[in-house]
Amino acid sequence: MAITNGYITLANFKAVKTISSTDATDDGVIERMIEQASRYIDIQTGRTFYARTETHYFDVPGGRELRMDDDLLTITTLTNGDDNTIADTEYNLVPKNTTPYYAIRLKQMSSKYWDSDSDGNTEDVISVAGTWGYSDGAPMDVQQACEDIAMRMYGRRYGKGNDGQVKVTAAGVVVTPNDVSSQTQRVINYYKRRL
């Protein structure tokens, strides 16, 4: 098994835990824990810390600003409801000087407006193709949070810190409250998407 969009690597985990074993079964379990810890952070923060190339669709907004449903890193193509592409000279990304972006604002001097489609529909007619995510790689504190959760999950395999709360499902070990330290919870709270 390989880790998909994990915030730490198997090698990082094994180095910190000083695990020298090359047991493929154990490595697979660790990789699942790293993935579960990474997805737990995604769910709790409402964002991802890896870049994804996707197209998102939006309703026509009431004003000049189109709010995103996710963190945006770059725009490849912005298509209005009338199927016309809007050039990057016609809009600004918000916030202006940092990523991730959370909105697209048509410039005041632009003659462009958010349009409905040819049938007058205003739902899901604007498309934004681009790179989505909080960042192209997890910040160091997010990596440490993932490492902390995965380490605690790994410890539960051997009865450390389980307090009778070990849960094993068909999908494997799950994250329990004991797997999230107060420091890790602070990191998660810091990165929660609030828009």
How sure is the predictor about 21, in pLDDT bands with cuts at 50, 70 and 90?
A: confident
**What is the structure's pLDDT at 101?**
97
Flag whether pLDDT at 102 surpasses 60. Answer: yes
Query: How does pLDDT run across 50-92, given as a tens digit for each residue?
Result: 999 999 999 999 999 999 999 999 999 999 999 999 999 999 9
**Tokens 């379990």, located at residue:** 29
Q: What share of the chain is helix, strand, coil (3-state, %, to 5)?
A: 35, 25, 45
Domain ranges of the chain: 10-47+139-191, 52-132
Average pLDDT, the chain: 89
pLDDT tens for 136-151 read 999 999 999 999 999 9
Give yes or no for a contact between 122 and 116, defined as CB atoms under 8 angstroms apart: yes
What is the reported pTM?
0.83
